[in-house]
Structure 1
């Protein structure tokens, strides 16, 4: 599967209903994507190398769940966000209880930057697949693993 199709299929998954299927398969694909991106960072082509540095993200990331009872630390790659204002997420509704998981992506365990890849694609292949909601969401792909978690904040909406 071409990389851009993989990213688009991933990002177009609904945030409601059941979770993605075949996560064991996509986990292996994402691990290979990280290896490929690191190879691009080491490219002799300085322009490719410079842009490739934006493909992997290190730093704080957040995952937002509506009405989550328990965190499933399954180590699968899942969607996270870099947004500061949660109301920038099209699926976020402050009228509902939610859980915010904050984690740290590191050099040894980086997140894959969806926007970084789309900007790379635009620069080198002339394809612009970024829509305003995608840009605003600032999605990254990262495994949900307990060792990377910094905090879990449960926000309950008080009933009147």
Structure 2
């Protein structure tokens, strides 16, 4: 009878994870999770993670910068949400800060203003207070700084 789950040697697992990391930036947590799914023992996991780090397949700083850039440009998340999601992935404070500093302040504010104007126009609510609340909830959920959100809400919604 054939085994339902495949087992891997350390070398096979290394190759598989090199490909996994080369395909897309990964954080330590994702790599360890993948190795656990592959039913690797803790000692093997440590050996493989060290190998990936030494050969630059795994780089927390690079991952954080890539993650922050992508979530900002594609998902239009604010810095608070990006920092929160990186913290959930066990990224160090230094790397989170470094990643957030990569986002140009001017570009950050331009994007915020552009999507804020679109959002304000799209909210179909007559009551000014309810409209401001919907506007604020939308941006706060996406991690934009509250002072920016409330300032913009008061400016655009009257």
TM-score normalised per structure 2 = 0.28
TM-score normalised per structure 1 = 0.28
More helix by share: 2
Q: Which one has a bigger Cα radius of gyration?
A: 2
